[in-house]
Amino acid sequence: VNLPEYRLSQGDVRSYVASVLTIPATDTIPAASGVDLPDGKPAAGSFCPPCLRLPASMTDTLADMLDMELLKNPAFVLVCVSNIVGMMGFCIPFMYIADSAVLKGIDKDKAAFLLSLIGITNMIGRLIFGWLSDLPQINCLLLNNLSLCLSGIAVFILPFCYSYPATVATCMIFGLIVAAYILLTSIILVELFGLDNLTNSFGLLSLCRGAACMVGPPLAGTLFDMTGSYDVPFFVSGTMLIVSGAMSSFIPCVRNTAVKPEPLPDIASPLEEIPEESDVPEDEEENVESIV
């Protein structure tokens, strides 16, 4: 309901849906070269056949989807970099927590249940953080950064949990706290870059996160092959989460320095004094009389 397109449709859902889904006729769309003649034929030099012309609505949508202007924003670049680092560490516990527990002598069935515990507590955490983020006095970006740092500390503790109850407690804490990291993504993007940029910013950020997920687990597997233990991969994972939270804490500073408001016009400046009749030179008075 806050979208400008919806408000322009005067709150009518049907007209808004129609404006989004309706594709204009092809005879009203210019050729790829840019100009059509009045009779509907493409201008000279146009090599694009009518069957290959895209509707203007589709080209505009593609242009919006592939808009890379956000990558020129230092704050968004910092968001992407911090999420790449954080997501590389985020995926490692989910991939190797069960195998790590088995190496410590925990039964396979109990070790597999650890992943379920993370999922259950993560669902509860999303409900809690969703309620907290709705409070006006809560800073969602700060909540996200604290979640990353605390979840990184929880991953750091995992290698020191040799008993099953300690491992269960740590996994539950990790699943509960890390819920804010994924949950608050769209809210933070809207607060930082506006609702109009949510689609593009979320898409680019998801691309960065997906690439990070493809790098994190193989890196942890390589570290396991080199050391023969999951302790080092968990230490690296916790470090990445903490570093991601620390990097995200600088986003407001970068955003404030990057966005410089334009100076307002000096509307309070005194008006130029209008010369009185006595101040008008005699030569100008003679010219005016001659014209009259």
What local confidence, expressed as pLDDT, does residue 72 receive?
A: 86
> Do 32 and 75 sit in the same domain of this protein?
no
Neighbours of 239 (CB within 10 A): 15
For residues 18 and 3, what is the distance between their CA atoms, to the nearest angstrom?
15
Count how many domains the chain has: 2
Q: Which is it for the CA torsion 221, 227, 228, 233, positive or negative?
A: negative
Q: What is the pLDDT of residue 196?
A: 83
Q: 114 and 247: one domain? A: yes
DSSP 8-class letter at 139: -
What sections of 53-107 are H helices per DSSP?
56-65, 74-103
Same domain, 40 and 93: no
pLDDT of residue 24: 47
pLDDT in tens, the chain (292 residues): 445 555 555 556 566 555 545 544 544 444 444 444 455 554 444 455 655 666 776 676 666 666 677 888 899 999 999 999 999 999 999 999 999 999 988 999 899 999 999 999 999 999 999 999 889 888 999 999 999 999 999 999 999 998 999 999 999 999 999 999 989 999 999 989 888 888 888 989 999 999 999 999 999 999 999 998 899 999 999 999 999 999 999 998 887 775 544 444 555 545 455 555 555 455 555 554 555 4
Which residue range is the domain that position 99 belongs to? 69-258
Same domain, 20 and 75: no
Q: Six-digit token pair at 45?
A: 């030099």
291's CB contacts (< 8 A; 6+ apart) are none
- What is the pTM (predicted TM-score) of this model? 0.68
Q: What is the pLDDT of residue 250?
A: 92
Q: Are residues 19 and 83 in the same domain?
A: no
CA-based torsion, 229, 159, 250, 209: positive or negative: positive
Burial class (CB in 10 A: 0-12, 13-18, 19+), 146: middle
Q: Does residue 187 belong to any structural domain of this protein?
A: yes
CATH number at residue 123: 1.20.1250.20
| Judgement on whether residues 134 and 20 belong to the same structural domain of the protein | no
Backbone angles phi, psi at 187, to 5 degrees: -65, -45
Q: Is 3 found in the same domain as 74?
A: no
**pLDDT at res. 22:** 53
SS3 content of the chain, % helix, strand, coil (to 5): 70, 0, 25
In a domain, 205, yes or no: yes
